[in-house]
Structure 1
Amino acid sequence: MLLLYKFAEKYEIKHIMDFVENYLIKKLSPANVVQLIQFSKQFRVVKLQESCIDFLVKSYKEETPIYALESLNKELIVSIFLNTWRPFVDTHIEV
């Protein structure tokens, strides 16, 4: 599927690119998410990259092991980790 996406991108066949991207999103798993996030970053496949990050955050919260996680860029891991926290909202406002 990754080769098909590369082919479609080379010849700018948007319909195939969209089909492959949606297919890959449905097939995300702990075994392939690292490979797919690296692919999505390299080819700027935005929706796939966002889905991979969401999958990694969900896996982190559920303590699901991820294959080859250590091969990810450290800045990306930090960014994902920071996105797992909820923003601080001060509900106690003094008047």
Structure 2
Amino acid sequence: MNKQELIDAVAASTGASKSSTGEAIDAVIHAITQAVASGDGVQLVGFGSFSQGSRAARTGRNPATGATINIAAAKTVKFTPGKAFKDVVNS
């Protein structure tokens, strides 16, 4: 399902217009993105939680040449599904 299909499904489910549904979905995504980028977690009970993680700097190898390269530390985004979400997926 892509974003437009999600908008169509939510609009059909709620009876709202597709344009207002699209704006609402964009606002939710923006709010989650801003919260996680600032280091806060976002918990949606029954769905899951988004949080920020970190990956330490390390050395790796270029598979083509075998040369050692340094891989910089990076921030990552973690998603942990909630129990209700896992139950629906596993049913």
TM-score bracket, normalised by the shorter chain, equals under 0.3
TM-score by length of 1: 0.27
Structure (1 or 2) with the greater helix fraction: 1
Structure (1 or 2) with the greater strand fraction: 2
